[in-house]
Structure 1
Amino acid sequence: MQEKTKLAIEGYKKAAAKQNGVEDVTEKFSVTPNATQKIVAQIRESNWFLGKINIVPVANQKGEAIGLGVTGMIASRTNTKTGNERKTKAVYNMEPMPYLCEQVNFDSHIRYEQLDAFAHLKNFNKLINSQTREQIDMNKVTIGFYGTSCEANTDPAANPNGEDVCKGWFQAIRDNNADAMLVEGKTTGEIRLGEGDETAGKGDFINLDLAVMNVKGLLHDACANASDLVALVGSDLLSYDKAKFYAAHGNTPTEKAHIEDMQVIGTYGGLAAFCPPSFPPTGILVTSFKNLSLYIQKDSIRRSLAIKNDRLDQIENFESMNMAYVVEQLPKAAALEFDHVKLWIDGAWV
């Protein structure tokens, strides 16, 4: 590490210590409530998807979902002249999902040579933070879609998408409302999208519109016509549908223009369609953005920063927080098992 880099690191440590109200950021410390609010704000701003869902600080490590959102009919009439009293109705009267905030570690390092490369820049402190913050928050999204368990010792080689770090939103549906998870079609263990043929077998859904409509059909009746429903759709499914549209209309100038403008993937099954970052390529999830939450337990964020490790020529940052992925209204979320999806490509199901 060069001398100018050492000075820059010392300046970073002093600034971080002042911000967090501690003397030495290399010693593990608890993040203050004000700093926690800033971290939550940074999470919301890190990518568009996290800005649309709920990031909720909660006091208890274990409990039941807050139940954000409104479901059912509240409007009514009562003739009070006859002695009848007006009666209130519960804004949320569905079975709440249980949650448990589990500790998740976000430990990282930056090599000395990387630090040397931008130690002379005025925004050095911001660069150090951004080196890891965006990736940490992207990990939160990935786990939210892929997480199936919380293991004491995780295995990133076997679970590259954080499947064993924490239970995510898809797993919340599997565990708490299994009937809202489409597992298979006519063929055991498979959900086939495309036409197919008599030899290889017909598809369950001839196109993506029908697939989304069928997933939407798994919602509770009270939620099926909610105005804020969206379809989260994987990139492979969108590409597959777009490729078929190209094949049919690619030589028609007006239709090709629609494709280039991305208008062709605007809606599926009558719902606005979105492809979030890190979403399973063959996944479909029908819900509303505000029905998905990331709970972070208050006072659970622990950090230690800029620890020099000369044996490996790197500085190391350690961060942990207790967090849980919550579906606020379980009947308002439905999905399909993305690992079971097969597409009709070149005369075969793949």
Structure 2
Amino acid sequence: MKKTTAVTLMNYLQGISQDNKEDFSRIAMGAKFTVEPSVQQRLENAVQESSDFLKLINIVPVDEQQGEILGLGVAGTIAGTTDTNSAGRKTQAIHALSKIPYHCQQINYDTHLKYATLDMWAKFPDFAKRIGALKAERMALDRIMIGFNGTSRAATSNRVSNPLLQDVAVGWLKKIEDNAPERVMKEETRDSGKIEVGEGKTYKNLDALVFSAVSDLIAPQFQDDTKLVAIMSRDLLADKYFPLVNQSKASEQVSGDIIMSTKRVGGLPAVQAPFVPKGTILITRLDNLSIYYQSGAMRRTLKDNAEYDRYEDYTSSNDDFVVENYESVALLKNIKMVDAPQGDS
């Protein structure tokens, strides 16, 4: 590491110590510290802003590590009548009430930068911003990956055997399978292990499959919800199925991590999000998906590791992946196309 880089790095640490109201010498020596809630909130905002998909779901701070899910979003019907001559009027909860628990557990977002990279970046005035933006973007992608692929939480995760972070935390799809199996379709016929879509099959095309899933798997009061979408895996849709929605800046069409189709599948807007497992469709409102993080529980350690010529950043957050209302979801897995997908326009 160059001397000028070391000076820039010390200034970077000084800013961190001031923001977190921590003694500079402790941080410079590599002591673990608790990130100030306001700083944690800024990081969470940066993570959400770095992903078009995360902007459409909920990222929610919670005070307690464990509790009952908040039930964000509209719960169901509220209209009714009451004969007040014989009984009083009764209010309805405007948000979903559930006894389903959440549990924010530690996830490590540990990174490092090689000295050579630091030497290159140290010359830029936005040194700290560059580091923060890079970490926020990777945290966003990893959270989406866990949300769609997480099936368990290992004591020590293994990214070699689980490249989609399947063993870091339990994600949304696995929670739907565990907590609402009646809203999951994995096969068309018993023991077939697949849902075949195409000519000569029960479902001639994806439209028929999605339409049937809404009618059969989603609770009646949510079937006509205008915010329902079909979040689909990339393999199910040809490129022609996704003309991008017009946006003001062409660059945003390229940089976005979510594609909203102008066409519909089974009457619902088709959405392509990153890391949705192959052969999968999740039907729900986007704001029915949440990531909870425990406020005040983020820990951080910054460490110069000369043995490996790098500067290390150990960051942990207590997170959980939450489905707010299981009545407004339908999960379709193991979909196999036997001919080209078709859709209405």
- Which aligned pairs between 1:180-329 and structure 2 lie closer than 5 A? 180-186=183-189, 188-195=192-199, 202-217=200-215, 218-239=217-238, 242=241, 266-305=263-302, 307-329=303-325
- Which aligned pairs between 1:1-350 and structure 2 lie closer than 5 A? 1-23=1-23, 24-25=26-27, 26-80=30-84, 82-92=85-95, 95-186=98-189, 188-195=192-199, 202-217=200-215, 218-239=217-238, 242=241, 266-305=263-302, 307-337=303-333, 340-344=334-338
Distance 1:263 1:96, change over 3 A: closer
Is contact 1:67–1:96 with CA below 8 Å preserved after alignment? no
Deviations 1:1-20 (A, max 9, x none): 12221121111111111111
How far off its partner does 1:265 sit? Answer: 5.2
For residues 188 and 271 of structure 2, the distance between their equivalents in structure 1, rounded to whole angstroms, comes to 24
For residues 96 and 109 of structure 2, the distance between their equivalents in structure 1, rounded to whole angstroms, comes to 37
How far off its partner does 1:76 sit? Answer: 2.1
Which secondary structure state, in structure 1, belongs to the residue aligned with residue 275 of structure 2?
coil
Which secondary structure state, in structure 2, belongs to the residue aligned with residue 266 of structure 1?
strand
For residues 51 and 194 of structure 1, the distance between their equivalents in structure 2, rounded to whole angstroms, comes to 35
Which secondary structure state, in structure 2, belongs to the residue aligned with residue 324 of structure 1?
strand
For residues 80 and 182 of structure 2, the distance between their equivalents in structure 1, rounded to whole angstroms, comes to 31
The aligned residue for residue 251 of structure 1 is none
User: 1:314 corresponds to which letter in structure 2?
Assistant: R
For residues 313 and 263 of structure 1, the distance between their equivalents in structure 2, rounded to whole angstroms, comes to 43
Is contact 2:282–2:332 with CA below 8 Å preserved after alignment? yes
- Give the unaligned 5+ runs of structure 1: 196-201, 244-261
Deviations 1:60-83 (A, max 9, x none): 222221111223321223343x35
- My pick for the range that moved more, 313-322 or 214-223, is 214-223
Deviations 1:147-185 (A, max 9, x none): 000111111111101101000000110110001111111
User: 1:27 corresponds to which letter in structure 2?
Assistant: A
Deviations 1:227-270 (A, max 9, x none): 22111111111227749xxxxxxxxxxxxxxxxxx997532111
How far off its partner does 1:122 sit? Answer: 1.1
- Give the unaligned 5+ runs of structure 2: 243-258, 341-345
How far off its partner does 1:272 sit? Answer: 1.4
Is contact 1:233–1:283 with CA below 8 Å preserved after alignment? yes
Number of equivalenced pairs: 319
For residues 102 and 170 of structure 2, the distance between their equivalents in structure 1, rounded to whole angstroms, comes to 10
For residues 22 and 76 of structure 1, the distance between their equivalents in structure 2, rounded to whole angstroms, comes to 56
TM-score normalized by the length of structure 1: 0.85
For residues 3 and 271 of structure 2, the distance between their equivalents in structure 1, rounded to whole angstroms, comes to 48
CA RMSD of the aligned region, Å?
2.3
How far off its partner does 1:280 sit? Answer: 2.5
The aligned residue for residue 258 of structure 1 is none
Is contact 2:236–2:279 with CA below 8 Å preserved after alignment? yes
How far off its partner does 1:84 sit? Answer: 3.5
Is contact 1:70–1:92 with CA below 8 Å preserved after alignment? yes
Which secondary structure state, in structure 1, belongs to the residue aligned with residue 312 of structure 2?
strand
Deviations 1:273-323 (A, max 9, x none): 211222224321111111111011122110112x11111111100011111
- My pick for the range that moved more, 116-125 or 71-80, is 71-80
For residues 263 and 42 of structure 1, the distance between their equivalents in structure 2, rounded to whole angstroms, comes to 22
Distance 1:152 1:345, change over 3 A: same
